[in-house]
Amino acid sequence: MIVIDEKKIFDEIQKRRPVSVALNGPDGILPKIQDTASRIMERFGIPAYVLADSCFGTCDMNTNGAKVLGAEILFHIGHTVNSTSFGDDIVLVDAFDNISFDGIARKCAEEFSGKTISLVTDSQHLHEVDKVRAILEQEGIKVMVGKGKGQLNDGQVFGCEFYPVMETRDSVDANIFLGQSNFHAAGIALSTNRPTYVLDPYFNEIREVTEFAQTLQKKAILSVYKAAEAESFGIIVGLKEGQFSKVTALKFKRELESLGKKVQLFALTDITDDKLQNLRGIDAFIQVACPRISTDNHFHRPVLSTPQANALVRILKKENVDNFLQVPHWL
């Protein structure tokens, strides 16, 4: 069960007495955030708005929504990061999953006996890393936990940022991800090119995602080669504040034009196949927002992420493009 650190929220409101607040977080915990908002309104008698658009990370906080609503504090829940530099109006609030990994860790100890593994997780299960490590080490497994970097804590990954597992990848037999997210685990498999497993305490199962990741990789490579045949490109700047990357968009524009391609520029908040279907005269797109939009979704025309677009430029220049997803950060 997800537990939100409501004490932090209540203490902050008590201290700062805002006239109204806003809250947001990942889709999966929105019902919990609704409950928290109701408790704020009951306890303090102020409006507490739930920003209910999809929110995938601290790259996608919708601070503009909070501003438009006149909310003096935005509580961003459930994306624990190693940073406090978001300004006074934004308060990051932890949301931990209190399910125990003890049972599934013992099962893992039997399966990976004698092996060396890299232990990794997302923000909601970070507090379980030390406990699982102790169980596995007791059974003779060599456990590594890679160092965090930037906003990442040790042993933590985002969907597009993999520093801890990239640090350990040459020393381990497999990556073990604590949680339920095939999305995060597939990113780990793609960036490290190592067998990767999900330790899922809810289904009490160990799932390998290596094959799923290979399917995503084939799709990503195919899109790059299809885009290499395109003459006209649409380059899309994402308007979500933490995914905004106009400089990268303009860099790709310059590079493609110097290679004789036609380029139009677009800006979108949500980059979906439906929205792109309206745009005419474009053979392929490059979007410089969230890279997982390109790798994990279906589009009728090629839609390349930043690492795919880097590979495309190299192909057009007749350079080597090996392993373009095996980098610690896909932006």
| Residues that bind ligand SF4 in the complex, under the rule CB under 6 A | 56-57, 59-60, 158-160, 243, 290, 292
Q: How far is the CB of 133 from ligand SF4 (least distance, A)?
A: 25
Q: How far is the CB of 329 from ligand SF4 (least distance, A)?
A: 9
Residue closer to ligand SF4 by CB (options 158, 252) is 158
- Residues 148 and 154 sit within 8 Å (Cβ to Cβ): yes
Q: How far is the CB of 292 from ligand SF4 (least distance, A)?
A: 4
* DSSP E strands, 146-231: 174-178, 196-200, 205-208
By beta-carbon distance, which residue lies closest to ligand SF4?
159
Token digits of residue 63: 């601070």
In angstroms, the CA 305 to CA 329 distance is: 12
* Residues contacting 67, CB < 8 A, separation 6+: none
Q: Which of 108, 190, 197, 121 minimizes the C-alpha distance to 155?
A: 121
* Residues contacting 183, CB < 8 A, separation 6+: 159, 292, 296
Residue closer to ligand SF4 by CB (options 61, 129) is 61
Q: How far is the CB of 100 from ligand SF4 (least distance, A)?
A: 27
Residue closer to ligand SF4 by CB (options 14, 297) is 297
Residue closer to ligand SF4 by CB (options 94, 283) is 94
Q: How far is the CB of 180 from ligand SF4 (least distance, A)?
A: 16
Residue closer to ligand SF4 by CB (options 20, 182) is 182
Q: Which of 287, 290, 316 minimizes the C-alpha distance to 303?
A: 287
Residue closer to ligand SF4 by CB (options 5, 60) is 60
* Residues contacting 66, CB < 8 A, separation 6+: 22, 49, 51, 74, 89
Residue closer to ligand SF4 by CB (options 56, 324) is 56
Determine the straight-line distance between the first and last CA of the chain, rounded to whole angstroms.
32
Tell me the three state secondary structure of residue 53. Answer: coil
Q: How far is the CB of 60 from ligand SF4 (least distance, A)?
A: 6
Q: How far is the CB of 31 from ligand SF4 (least distance, A)?
A: 21
* Residues contacting 188, CB < 8 A, separation 6+: 120, 157, 162, 165, 175, 177, 196
Distances in Å between the alpha carbon of 19 and those of 40, 47, 48? 12, 7, 9
Token digits of residue 11: 């203490």
* Identity of the residue numbered 297: N
Q: How far is the CB of 293 from ligand SF4 (least distance, A)?
A: 7
Residue closer to ligand SF4 by CB (options 60, 167) is 60
